[in-house]
Amino acid sequence: MPPAIGQVLFDAETIARRVRDLGRELAETYRDREPVLVAVMKGCVLFLADLVRAWEGPMDLEFITAESYEGTEPGAVHLAVPEGLADRVAGRPVLVVDDIFDTGATLATVREALLAMGAEEVRSVVLLHKHTDAAPPSSAPAGPAAPDWVGFDVADRFVVGYGLDLDGRYRNLSYVAALRKG
């Protein structure tokens, strides 16, 4: 394990089980609607790859890039939208796939952009939902842009692994872990 890595929060097997269940549930929910999955690069890549392999049914895959972090500090959200994306989402149900929901700024920005492109509907699935509250997640009020599906709830700390990075590192870890303190 790299020296900067602290506690493992979700190991590879736990993630695999949960993501497989999510994939099956989503495929069942969307059945014959053939949604466009819009993956938010780059943090979601491992989650996405496992999710779509558990997805039995028609779907289409597109990408968008969102960046907001400098190291462990959040900043303004910058979107990079590939040419032609609007044509491919217009009039279609869209499912945004992201790694982690924290303040919701990223998902809100992506959602607005997709609706402006003419998406019929925009829902979202995230691997992790970070909770800043001391209160348990289930009692927290759902914000307007709260994710529709969540893999795991996680406490308010910076996490890496399974796609999530710190300045480009640790995306390739097979588990999700907190950074070592100090």
Measured distance CA(13)–CA(21) in Å, rounded:
13
Supply the minimum distance, in Å, between the C-beta of residue 81 and Mg ion. Answer: 15
**Beta bridge partners of residue 39, listed in sequence order:** 63, 97
Q: Does 43 interact with Mg ion (rule: CB under 5 A)?
A: yes
Minimal distance, residue 155 CB to ligand 5GP, in Å:
10
User: What residues contact residue 167 under an 8 Å CB cut-off, 6+ apart?
Assistant: 71
Annotation says 153 is catalytic: no
- By CB neighbour count within 10 A (0-12 exposed, 13-18 middle, 19+ buried), where does 48 fall? buried
The partner in contact with residue 160, picked from Mg ion, ligand 5GP, none with C-beta cut-offs of 5 to 8 angstroms by kind, is: ligand 5GP
Cβ nearer to ligand 5GP, comparing 22 with 107: 107
Contact residues for ligand 5GP, defined by CB under 6 A:
40, 43, 68-69, 74, 98-106, 130, 158-160, 164-165
Half-sphere exposure of 147 (CA within 13 A, CB side): 27
Active-site entry in 50, 98, 99, 102: 102
Work out how close the CB of 126 gets to ligand 5GP at its nearest, in angstroms, rounded to a whole number.
Answer: 8
Rounded least distance, CB 109 to ligand 5GP, Å: 8
Return the C-alpha torsion angle 160, 68, 157, 53, nearest 10: -40
Strand partners, 123: 95
Among ligand 5GP, Mg ion, none, partner that 50 touches (CB below 5 to 8 angstroms by kind): none
Which active-site residues does the annotation give?
102
Binding site for Mg ion (CB under 5 A): 43
